[in-house]
């Protein structure tokens, strides 16, 4: 059985990532990309679905930390025999270009006494479905495992033994000694690549992370939390393209034992602007530019084919399928890969796209002469569809509605284009777009406000609430002190919170037959922090923010959601949108650089 979600830590090389439990088991790793088939899938089942464990033979007290501001994890074990550390990391690409290789290094370091250790490697390619053929390397220096297109090589000086289609080892580590294990993935048709020097690789990886972390310009009171979130975002970035995955996992449930289990190893347009602002406001302009450029490439083409999400390389076909051989995280079925929501119509993505390019220009990112031509084409298409119903920001599968937030983001799309022209950055049909902007604003204010409570509702004609309404003042649709916004925030706090933390929307049965029972959505809770800042309720905002920080696990990571009843993390992990929310809320509370104010003012 896998560990609790909050008991995992992340390591990665900006091409893929692994999750390691407190007990020293790597239970999730997709190779060679974030969205490749997993060779360790115990996270969604049992040990027999693939894992790699290194831990003391006898019970031990466990503590762990990231080494400085990096994704290098040190897990320390203490027992009566002594003390040992396992240092886990994935070095940035060290092999020759074009070989498609990636390494995972585990260094077992003796700290005190002599500790008996055990290792178990269970390789199962294609999400636990394929048992590889295993052979020993020349000189008995390790093993090579092959199945179809995948080859994984394990090198170690420790004696490796085969047992029931697994590889095991027993060894002891003395104080001052280091025993390395290096696991390398490569295409199966290529010759085995030369080994890397694991300890030299550790020093190079430390330096790379130190140099990267040194670019951060945030020195506020929450430096540690902000930096850990930035490192996590970097770790979720696919370096070859600049795309940022929503999470490195699939099918971690929104409710334990539930059916709402989705694949988040893709890139969502809806995350664009908030991600861009979090990177620019902390000094990471190169990453911001890479993300914006990825956006431009991904959506390039006919505007009527724009999707809400894409693959990490910009892929458009993300067919959804179920893996019936995996039992699911704590029995949460089905296990899904791919995401059928890619084909949904969500009008908010047009606003996100336009706002991202607008904020990029304001942030002096490198200009792209093709971006404005694409934006004009996008707006021409939006003119013809903004009055249509859509599936909404939360990708519900119960039919289209006139979602309030979707209409507001259509307003944002035209508003940002108008501001770009007014500031002399481009040319376009200014009068026509102004008229459309005015029409959308009037339409929303007339049809999306509850006639009794005076607050905005989730969709036209609905009485339901939606946490996305917290973003209305942040995108500049209305001031934060407008009576309708004040009433909306108050109503959300009354009806849409659990222990002060925010749910995404009213939990009702949807037409797709799946209950909406889930935890509080962490990004939405950070949005409440931000709107409280805009309303000058700084004490209340700070109190909520500090509470959210306490929900991070022992190494500073957040999932998609949190279940207050069980006090468990739920949803895919770690979640980029949660960490983006943390960064922006910290910046907003610090007030020196406020993404919320910048976006609200449209400047």
Q: Provide the β-strand partners of residue 55.
A: 118
Using the predicted structure, report yes or no on whether residue 397 has a pLDDT greater than 80. Answer: no
320 vs 170, 236, 262, 335, 337, CA distance in Å?
41, 22, 9, 10, 6
Using the predicted structure, report yes or no on whether residue 328 has a pLDDT greater than 70. Answer: yes
Residue-wise pLDDT tens digits, 169-201? 999 999 999 999 999 999 999 999 999 999 999
Average pLDDT on 65-80 reads: 98
Burial class (CB in 10 A: 0-12, 13-18, 19+), 571: buried
Residue 176 domain flag: yes
* Torsion over CA: 265, 148, 190, 195 (sign): positive
Look up residue 24 and give its two tokens. 């020293």
Residue 262 CB neighbour total at 10 angstroms: 25
Same domain, 390 and 434: yes
Residue 516 pLDDT level (bands cut at 50, 70, 90): low
Using the predicted structure, report yes or no on whether residue 456 has a pLDDT greater than 70. Answer: yes
Same domain, 248 and 326: yes
Quote the strand ranges of 432-551, DSSP E. Answer: 497-498, 501-502, 520-521
Q: Which residue has the tokens 């797709």?
A: 512
Look up residue 432 and give its two tokens. 């026509």
Q: Are 132 and 157 in contact (CB under 8 A)?
A: no
At 561, phi and psi to the nearest 5?
-135, 170
- The parent domain of residue 266 ranges over 220-601
Residue 199 domain flag: no
Same domain, 229 and 178: no
Residue 51 pLDDT level (bands cut at 50, 70, 90): very high
Which of 6, 147, 8 is CA-nearest to residue 71? 8
Which of 234, 238, 261 is CA-nearest to residue 249? 261
Q: Which residue has the tokens 């704590």?
A: 330
Residue-wise pLDDT tens digits, 329-350? 999 999 999 999 999 999 999 9
365 SS3 class:
coil
Which of 200, 374, 227, 356 is CA-nearest to residue 292? 356
Same domain, 174 and 238: no
Percent of the chain clearing pLDDT 90 (strictly above): 89
Same domain, 47 and 181: yes
Domain end marker among 171, 191, 211: 191
Q: Are 326 and 128 in contact (CB under 8 A)?
A: yes
> At 128, which helix (H) or strand (E)?
helix 125-128
Residues 278, 599: Cα–Cα separation, whole Å:
12
Relative to beta strand 73-79, strand 142-147 is unpaired
Residue-wise pLDDT tens digits, 193-234? 999 999 999 999 999 999 999 999 999 999 999 999 999 999
List CB contacts of 368: < 8 A, sequence separation 6 or more.
Answer: 293, 296
Average pLDDT on 509-523 reads: 67
Average pLDDT of the residues of the chain: 94
Look up residue 219 and give its two tokens. 């020195």
Q: What integer pLDDT is reported at residue 98 of this predicted model?
A: 55
Same domain, 426 and 357: yes
Percent of the chain clearing pLDDT 70 (strictly above): 96
Same domain, 257 and 128: no
Residue 316 domain flag: yes
Q: What integer pLDDT is reported at residue 599 of this predicted model?
A: 81
Residues 590, 473: Cα–Cα separation, whole Å:
19
Which of 540, 530, 570 is CA-nearest to residue 553? 570
Average pLDDT on 96-114 reads: 88
Nearest-5° Cα angle at 436, 432 to 441: 150
Residue-wise pLDDT tens digits, 247-285? 999 999 999 999 999 999 999 998 889 999 999 999 999
Q: Are 360 and 418 in contact (CB under 8 A)?
A: no
Average pLDDT on 588-592 reads: 82
- Quote the radius of gyration of the chain (alpha carbons, Å): 25
Buried b (16+ CB within 10 A) or exposed e, 230-253: bbbbbbbbbeebbbbbbbbbbbbb
Q: What integer pLDDT is reported at residue 594 of this predicted model?
A: 81
List CB contacts of 350: < 8 A, sequence separation 6 or more.
Answer: 306, 378, 379, 382, 409, 410, 413
CA torsion 588→593→599→602, rounded to 10°? 140
Burial class (CB in 10 A: 0-12, 13-18, 19+), 216: middle
Average pLDDT on 483-498 reads: 97
508 vs 8, 463, 498, 522, CA distance in Å?
32, 12, 16, 20
Which of 168, 67, 72 is CA-nearest to residue 121? 168
Look up residue 515 and give its two tokens. 């209950």
48 SS3 class:
helix
Residues 148, 25: Cα–Cα separation, whole Å:
25
At 101, phi and psi to the nearest 5?
-100, 160
Average pLDDT on 488-516 reads: 79
Q: What integer pLDDT is reported at residue 97 of this predicted model?
A: 55
Q: What integer pLDDT is reported at residue 118 of this predicted model?
A: 98
Same domain, 288 and 326: yes
What is the number of structural domains in the chain?
2
Domain end marker among 172, 191, 210: 191
Q: What integer pLDDT is reported at residue 514 of this predicted model?
A: 44
Residues 49, 68: Cα–Cα separation, whole Å:
33
Same domain, 178 and 237: no
Look up residue 449 and give its two tokens. 């406000």
Domain end marker among 191, 211, 237: 191
Q: What integer pLDDT is reported at residue 509 of this predicted model?
A: 45
Look up residue 116 and give its two tokens. 């008996």
Residues 394, 391: Cα–Cα separation, whole Å:
8
Residue-wise pLDDT tens digits, 136-164? 998 788 999 999 999 999 999 999 999 99
Q: What integer pLDDT is reported at residue 507 of this predicted model?
A: 64
Same domain, 391 and 475: yes
Residues 273, 258: Cα–Cα separation, whole Å:
31
Using the predicted structure, report yes or no on whether residue 508 has a pLDDT greater than 70. Answer: no
Domain holding 150: CATH number? 2.70.98
Q: What integer pLDDT is reported at residue 512 of this predicted model?
A: 46
Residue-wise pLDDT tens digits, 362-373? 887 877 778 899
Average pLDDT on 452-477 reads: 96
Same domain, 445 and 346: yes
């Amino acid at each position: 059985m896998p560990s609790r979600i909050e008991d995992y830590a992340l390591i990665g090389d900006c091409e893929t990532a692994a999750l390691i439990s407190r007990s020293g088991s790597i239970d999730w790793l997709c190779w060679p990309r974030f969205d490749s088939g997993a060779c360790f899938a115990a996270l969604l089942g049992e040990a027999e679905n693939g894992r790699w464990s290194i831990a003391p033979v006898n019970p031990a007290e466990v503590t762990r930390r990231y080494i400085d501001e990096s994704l290098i994890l040190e897990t320390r074990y203490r027992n009566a025999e002594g003390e040992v550390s396992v240092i886990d990391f994935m070095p940035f690409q060290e092999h020759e270009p074009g070989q498609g290789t990636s390494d995972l290094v585990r260094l077992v370091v003796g700290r005190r006494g002599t500790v008996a250790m055990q290792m178990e490697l269970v390789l199962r390619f294609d999400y636990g479905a394929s048992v590889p053929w295993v052979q020993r390397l020349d000189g008995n220096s390790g093993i090579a495992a092959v199945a179809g297109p995948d080859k994984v090589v394990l090198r170690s000086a420790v004696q490796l033994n085969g047992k029931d289609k697994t590889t095991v080892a027993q060894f002891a580590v003395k104080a001052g000694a280091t025993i390395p294990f290096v696991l390398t993935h490569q295409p199966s048709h290529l010759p085995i690549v030369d080994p890397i020097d694991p300890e030299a690789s550790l020093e190079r990886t430390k330096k790379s992370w130190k140099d990267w972390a040194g670019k951060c310009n945030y020195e506020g009171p929450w430096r540690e939390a902000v930096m850990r979130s930035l490192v996590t975002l970097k770790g979720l970035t696919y370096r070859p393209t600049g795309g940022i995955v929503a999470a490195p996992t699939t099918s971690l449930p929104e409710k334990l034992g539930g059916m709402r289990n989705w694949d988040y190893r893709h890139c969502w347009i809806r995350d664009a602007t908030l991600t861009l602002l979090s990177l620019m406001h902390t000094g990471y302009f190169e990453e911001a530019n890479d993300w914006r450029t990825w956006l431009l490439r991904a959506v390039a083409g006919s505007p009527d084919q724009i999707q809400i999400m894409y693959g990490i390389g910009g892929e458009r076909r993300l067919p959804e399928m179920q893996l019936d051989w995996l039992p699911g995280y704590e029995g949460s079925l089905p296990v899904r890969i791919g995401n059928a929501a890619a084909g949904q119509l969500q009008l908010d993505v047009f606003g996100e796209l336009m706002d991202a390019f607008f904020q990029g220009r304001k942030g002096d990112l490198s200009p792209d002469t093709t971006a404005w031509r694409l934006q004009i084409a996008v707006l021409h298409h939006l003119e013809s569809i903004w009055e249509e119903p859509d599936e909404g920001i939360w990708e519900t599968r119960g039919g289209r509605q006139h979602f309030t937030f979707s209409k507001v983001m259509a307003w944002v799309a035209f508003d940002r284009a108008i501001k770009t022209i007014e500031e002399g950055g481009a040319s376009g049909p200014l009068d026509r777009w102004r008229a459309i902007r005015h029409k959308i604003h009037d339409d929303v204010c007339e049809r999306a406000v509850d006639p009794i409570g005076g607050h905005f509702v989730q969709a036209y004609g609905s009485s339901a609430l939606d946490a996305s309404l917290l973003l209305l003042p942040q995108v500049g649709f209305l001031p934060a002190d407008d009576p309708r916004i004040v009433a909306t925030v108050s109503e959300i706090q009354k009806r849409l919170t659990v222990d002060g933390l925010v749910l995404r929307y009213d939990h009702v049965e949807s037409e797709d037959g799946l209950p909406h029972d889930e935890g509080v959505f962490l990004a939405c809770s950070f949005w409440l922090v931000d709107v409280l800042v805009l309303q000058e309720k700084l004490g209340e905002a700070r109190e909520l923010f500090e509470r959210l920080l306490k929900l991070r696990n022992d190494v500073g990571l957040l999932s998609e959601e949190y279940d207050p009843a069980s006090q468990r993390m739920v949803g895919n992990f770690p979640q980029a949108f949660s960490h983006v929310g943390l960064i922006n809320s910290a910046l907003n509370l610090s007030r020196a650089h406020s993404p919320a104010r910048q976006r609200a003012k449209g400047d």
